[in-house]
Structures are given as C-alpha cells and as structure tokens.
Amino acid sequence: MSTIIRNGTVVNADQTFRADIYCENGKIVAIGPDLDVPSSAEIIDASGQYVMPGGIDPHTHMQLPFMGTVATDDFFTGTAAGLAGGNTTIIDFVIPAPQESLLDAYKKWREWAEKSAADYSFHVAITWWDDSVAADMETLVKEYGVNSFKHFMAYKNAIMADDETLVKSFRRCMELGAMPTVHAENGELVFQLQQELLSKGITGPEGHPLSRPPIVEGEAANRAIQIAQVMDVPIYIVHVSCKESLEAITRARNEGQRVYGECLAGHLVIDDSVYRNESFEFAAAHVMSPPFRSSEHQSALWKGIQGGNLHTTATDHCAFCADQKAAGKDDFSKIPNGTAGVEDRMAVLWDEGVNSGKLTMNEFVSVTSTNAAKIFNIYPQKGSISVGADADIVVWDPEGTRTISAKTHHQNVDFNIFEGKTVKGIPTHTISRGKTVWANGQLNVEQGAGRYINRPAFNPV
C-alpha cells in the first residue's frame, strides 16, 4: 500500500515548504518536489491545501467506567470520530480503582482498546499508594511502554491522590524517567463547597461551577508544580482552564522549571454561561471538570498558548448521553462529568486560532500534534512530516467549511458542545499509518487497525 500526496504545502512545527509526500507500508519514505513514485500509488491531490502531521489528542477517556456509568464512545467509535477530524493518535488513561493492581487495570484497558481504529497509548493513574504500586510503575515503564502517570487531586472519597501519594509517586517518576501529570483541583475545597451549595438548596447544574471556582484549580496546580520542583521531576498539568493555574505554570516556567500545560478546545471557546441555561439537559451536557469559565479565562488561555506556557491541546473526550447526565437531575454533584470533542478539536483550533491570527500554522501544528509527541517521547515517529515518521497525515483545506452538529458528527453521543459553530478549515483527507481513512467526508475505518504506541522512558541518549 503506497500513497503520494502531491502539490500541497507541508506545514511542520518548525517550517513550511512545498513538497510531495510519499508513504509506503505505513511510513513516510520520501519528501520532495515532484517525487517519482510507483504508478500503483494512490494519489491525493493537495493543491491549495496544507499537509500536516495528524493530530494527537493526549487526553481522552474512551468507554470509561465513571460515576456509575460508562462513557458512550468506545475505542472504536471514538478513534474513528477522531480520524474524521484529522486526529490520528490518542493517549487515553488507565484508571485503577483504589487498591486495584496497576498491571491488572492496564491489561484490562489494553484489551478494551484493541478495537481502536487509530493509534493509541496510555497514561496510567496513581489512585492509591503502597509498595506494589511503586513496583508496578517500574514494570509499566520498563516493559509496557508507559512513560507518564496521572494523579487526580480532586474526586475526594474516590480516586483523589493526597499529598503523601503525590510526593511518593512524583519521586518514583523521577527515578523511572517518567512524567507525572495531574488533574489539578483541590478536592477538599470542592467537597466542602458541594456540601454547602447542596445544603443551601442549590442542586442544579449552576452549582457545578460554583463548587469548582478557578482558585480551586490554581491552588492545586501550584501545589503539584511545587512538589514536582522539590522532587526534581518535570510535570504536565492536564486541562488548564483558568488563568490561576496558567499563572502557576507560568511562574514556574519563568524560574526555569520544566512544566508543561495542556488546554482543551472547549475551554478555549466556551464560557460558563452554559451553566445558567434554563434547560437542565443543555446545562448538564456541559458538566465537566474543571468547568467552563468566564471569558477572561479564555483570553488568558490563548495568551498562554502564544507565550509558550501552554503546550498541547486536548479534549478530555468523555462522552455521556442525556439519559446518563440525568442521574444528577436533583444533585449536580451526581451528573457524570464529561464532554466530547475528539472529532472537532483540530478544526476549532484552526478556526479560532489560525484564522484569527492568534496562531501561525506552525504553532497550530505544534499545539495539536508535535508538542504532545515531544513531551510524551514519541517524536518524530508521531508529530512530524519527515522521512521515517509514521504516515499519520492530515490534508487540510483552509477554505473548506463545516457546521458542527451532533446530528452529523461521528462521535457516539447525542450532544456537541460546539453545536452550530461553522468552522473554516477542515480535513479533506486523513491518513493513518499510510491508509486513507477519511476522504472528502467519507470515513473508511477498520476495527483494530490502530496499534498501541510504546512510549519509552526519558533517558539521556
């Protein structure tokens, strides 16, 4: 199987140039002007289009069991939807229950993911601590291609990691050459505020953001970063949603600390007025943590990307339908937390970022693909149009438009937080490991075509 993309303009994180791209057996094997290729090669004409590394969404939760239900997009439907949107790799999360063996959980998730249509990898969450956890971390790093561990600082009485766990796990990450990551919200404050709000009779979705104000996130981000500094390990903060946590990152980076920040497409463009919508269904559909924020925070996040203090964009894709969200009809704290978006991230970023002049095309590639590959140590296999890289490519039509809607999207969920938004700039073709899986609006995916991506530990060369 070979494919040639002709007449396009290649956009990498570091440069833009005109060239043809030739792929064979899932790899990019030649880049250059007017390449001479076998006549059997499939030809994609990219005239007037940009040819970019396929997107990497470093934060998804396919078929996650959570809050008494299971996310509706599974590894097949979720990765397929991603491909329709130009996204060729996801990094999902293994989340062991407290006391559950990390290895057991890891194997369970690997099994679930076998049907993936696109490539995938896993962060593993540290939700409890004892010596076996420390031992399993080593096994995961050395034998299973895991180089990042996630810590939830919220969700008290469930998967919350306390300071003792953070301190010990971060130290272990340092020893193993792994990257600690955190969901940064102070779980004690969230819990206290939830109790107070509910006791005051505030039970609807409007209570959700009130129970998780920006300071709650800023405090936790700062704490995790400082612990990482003392433990001498880099750190990655997932879904930075507000200026308070961005400032914590920024302060640390200004001191030279190796801190990385991720933000979500949703947080960049949706504000907290959604929670005051009179429709429970609409408001509940937006319940995720951290919540959407007031508009000043969106402006801050864009500046964070521009200034290099935020590095990746993700979705925290975790799809729940209206009937699942209804579990919190009388108590906002019971609404399953999660929104979808793996299909829309790239287009939203291009439309709001590149079209507005906020980001250059090269920066777009950096924050949708390359930086994630570098931070999680799979560059240049992923995140790069270069000879030898995986043939994960998106052909982008800057003039094409699409109106996002749950009615037409490929995600297996009945709601779209970007509903009605018309984006300019869409993928005409997505190539995954050399195979054209999305072309001019047609999806041509296959269960199990995706492969697990080993991510090696960080070590000196």
Shortest gap between Cβ of 257 and its own copies (angstroms)? 8
Within 13 A of 71's CA, how many CA atoms are on the CB side?
A: 26
Report if residue 186 touches its own copies, rule: CB under 8 A: yes
Shortest gap between Cβ of 327 and its own copies (angstroms)? 26
From 306, 322, 334, 406, residue interacting with its own copies (rule: CB under 8 A):
306
**Which residues between 111 and 170 bind its own copies (CB under 8 A)?**
162-164, 166-168
CB 367 within 8 A of CB 53: no
The C-alpha atoms of residue 333 and residue 203 are separated, in whole angstroms, by 8
Pick between residue 328 and residue 380 the one whose CB is nearest to its own copies.
380
Among Zn ion, its own copies, none, partner that 306 touches (CB below 5 to 8 angstroms by kind): its own copies
Report if residue 2 touches its own copies, rule: CB under 8 A: no
Pick between residue 184 and residue 449 the one whose CB is nearest to Zn ion.
184
**Which residues between 229 and 288 bind its own copies (CB under 8 A)?**
229-230, 250, 253-258
Among Zn ion, its own copies, none, partner that 435 touches (CB below 5 to 8 angstroms by kind): none
CB 92 within 8 A of CB 116: no
**Which residues between 313 and 352 bind its own copies (CB under 8 A)?**
none
Report if residue 307 touches its own copies, rule: CB under 8 A: yes
Shortest gap between Cβ of 447 and its own copies (angstroms)? 33
Residue that the structure tokens 């750190």 belong to? 235
Give the strands of the sheet with 2-6, arranged side by side.
Answer: 27-32, 20-24, 2-6, 42-45
Among Zn ion, its own copies, none, partner that 34 touches (CB below 5 to 8 angstroms by kind): none
Report if residue 302 touches its own copies, rule: CB under 8 A: yes
The C-alpha atoms of residue 182 and residue 237 are separated, in whole angstroms, by 5
Q: Which two tokens stand for residue 164?
A: 């003792």
Report if residue 308 touches its own copies, rule: CB under 8 A: yes
Phi, psi of 340 (to 5 degrees): -95, -175
Report if residue 217 touches Zn ion, rule: CB under 5 A: no
Size of the site for Zn ion (CB under 5 A): 2
Among Zn ion, its own copies, none, partner that 253 touches (CB below 5 to 8 angstroms by kind): its own copies
Q: Which two tokens stand for residue 423?
A: 């984006």
Question: Omega into 380 within 30° of 0, i.e. cis?
Answer: yes
Q: List Cβ neighbours of 454 (8 Å cut-off, separation of 6 or more).
A: 121, 144, 145
Spatial CA neighbour of 425 closest among 408, 402, 442, 407: 402
Measured CA distances, 257 to 176, 216, 234, 353, 367 (Å): 19, 22, 7, 27, 20
Amino acid residing at 227:
I
Q: Per DSSP, what are the bridge partners of residue 443?
A: 438
**Which residues between 149 and 188 bind Zn ion (CB under 5 A)?**
183
Q: What is the DSSP letter of 275?
A: G
Among its own copies, Zn ion, none, partner that 261 touches (CB below 5 to 8 angstroms by kind): none
Q: What is the DSSP letter of 146?
A: -
Pick between residue 150 and residue 435 the one whose CB is nearest to Zn ion.
150
Report if residue 57 touches Zn ion, rule: CB under 5 A: no
Shortest gap between Cβ of 60 and Zn ion (angstroms)? 8
Site stretch for its own copies (CB under 8 A), options 91-99, 115-123, 209-217, 427-435 = 209-217
CB 81 within 8 A of CB 343: yes
Report if residue 414 touches Zn ion, rule: CB under 5 A: no
Pick between residue 39 and residue 254 the one whose CB is nearest to its own copies.
254
Site stretch for its own copies (CB under 8 A), options 113-121, 183-191, 262-270, 411-419 = 183-191
Report if residue 429 touches Zn ion, rule: CB under 5 A: no
179: alpha, beta or left? (left if phi > 0; alpha if psi -120 to 50): beta
**Which residues between 88 and 107 bind its own copies (CB under 8 A)?**
none
Q: Per DSSP, what are the bridge partners of residue 220?
A: none
From 213, 290, 328, 427, residue interacting with its own copies (rule: CB under 8 A):
213
Q: What angle do CA 308, 314, 318 make, to 5 degrees?
A: 155
Among Zn ion, its own copies, none, partner that 316 touches (CB below 5 to 8 angstroms by kind): Zn ion
**Which residues between 291 and 350 bind Zn ion (CB under 5 A)?**
316
Q: For 285-339, what is the HEC assignment? A: HCCCCCCCECHHHHHHHHHHHHCCCCCEEECCECCCCHHHHHHHCCCHHHCCCCE
Shortest gap between Cβ of 192 and its own copies (angstroms)? 5
Rounded to a whole number, what is the largest CA-CA distance in the chain? 72
Among its own copies, Zn ion, none, partner that 329 touches (CB below 5 to 8 angstroms by kind): none
CB atoms within 10 A of CB 194: 20
Among Zn ion, its own copies, none, partner that 430 touches (CB below 5 to 8 angstroms by kind): none
Q: Which residues bind its own copies (CB under 8 A)?
A: 9, 13-16, 162-164, 166-168, 171, 186, 188-189, 192-193, 213, 215-216, 218-219, 222-223, 226-227, 229-230, 250, 253-258, 296, 302-309, 358, 361, 374, 379-380, 461
Q: Which residues bind Zn ion (CB under 5 A)?
A: 183, 316
